[in-house]
Structure 1
């Protein structure tokens, strides 16, 4: 089923929801309306049990070049305080919704991901990039600090020293360099970006999605807690997963040398 809006396209097919940023004339820069639509759709998908994996992509030449600076400047010139609140009102909840999504999220990077666009990509679990795509940690270029979770996600992807250099120098990162440093999982030809991402999402959607959610929760917890607390969390989550139909059915299938079928329950 497809739901089409002016700014965001949402499609649900075979357990996979595809969110497509649809402002190609501005390389999918994030206007207030697009941020609000994306946050609403992300929350809706997170709560939809029929969706078992998510793909985030963009139309046109860019994945997302971050904040819509034309709108931003116009609001600042008008004395509107809204631009100064967008991190708290939009970016923070959006990144939390993506990173905390209880199902796998794949970013299909059809083009440049800059500023908050890079932050959205980093909040996903997988990143499949076009050979023509790239990243730009652009905040310093407009006299700003980091937002959209980049100060948390980027050091965890590439290490603190490299994250600092990428953020302070604010230079473009081509797709192959991004692959070398671990920012993306794969680089493919432009026409293969979305098919590759959808194939991966379909594979994940057919998997043990309850366990995937627990794994994501476990890794996020371990990133900010000590070993003892993390071990306790692992025990809690493993106990819960051990009670699922997926665990019982898949272990029985393994013993019977059959292919397991996962339901996410």
Structure 2
């Protein structure tokens, strides 16, 4: 993985890849280059078996303030709709890439996480928020619908009524409230965020990575299926899991009453 990105930092340590959106002067607002750099990193990580957990966060005072609105301040032309579709396609590629990563993905959220930045966090598997986090589906404030999969993630995490409330009113909620309604998995004091996320990332990086990937695939595939189909999928994925080296190690460790040493295969 190259290291000369302009708006993103990528750091690897002990099987954990930390991706930091790095435009702190504008609270990590998205521009086209930052989206493309994130896509590249995510797609490279998906093929790297040495990476066993991914953390996504933002530099400076915020996770991310959404789209850089200077793009939308330009005068509309006949080509504006086409440009908008191409713009959204990049976000869609990033969201799908995060969802399909075989490794667990943690979003570490502090400060502002609004608009597309919030929805990128919702595409991650787990979300840990600091108590200073301010989360908002801000699209309605500028006359837009939630993009980046917002309607998909919000309704599945919160149910349709609460999801519509957040989208229609576009009000901020803090980290504590986000944990209460299930938008994030946990809220911790800002001073504890880095270590909380690092501890969780290390735990996942030392776990059965291949199995984690199968769990993600099974859960994503099951969201719009009936029970009979899900049970069939369960059997298919379990057949794959039972043949992994980590399953064999887990059973042996249990029988020998020792901690397992997973290799992620």
| 1:195 aligned residue | 195
Contact 1:53/1:103, CA 8 A, preserved across alignment:
yes
| 1:162 aligned residue | 162
Deviations 1:182-217 (A, max 9, x none): 111221222322221121111100001111111111
Q: Say which SS state the counterpart of residue 73 (structure 2) adopts.
A: helix
After TM superposition, what 4+ stretches of structure 1 lie above 6 angstroms from structure 2?
Answer: none
- Note the 1:207-218 alignment, pairs <5 A: 207-218=207-218
| 1:149 aligned residue | 149
* In 2, Cα distance between equivalents of 1:262 and 1:72: 48
| 1:99 aligned residue | 99
Is it true that 1:82 corresponds to 2:101 in the alignment? no
What is the deviation of 1:83?
3.4
What RMSD, in angstroms, separates the aligned Cα atoms of the two structures? 1.7
* In 2, Cα distance between equivalents of 1:4 and 1:190: 29
What is the deviation of 1:36?
0.5
Deviations 1:32-85 (A, max 9, x none): 000000111111111111100000000111101111111332374796642342
| 1:73 aligned residue | 73
TM-score (norm 1): 0.95
Is it true that 1:129 corresponds to 2:129 in the alignment? yes
Is it true that 1:221 corresponds to 2:221 in the alignment? yes
| 1:239 aligned residue | 239
> Which range moves more in the overlay, 183-192 or 16-25?
183-192
What is the deviation of 1:248?
1.0
* In 2, Cα distance between equivalents of 1:190 and 1:60: 13
What is the deviation of 1:10?
0.3
Unaligned runs of 5+ in 2: none
Equivalent pairs counted in the alignment come to 264
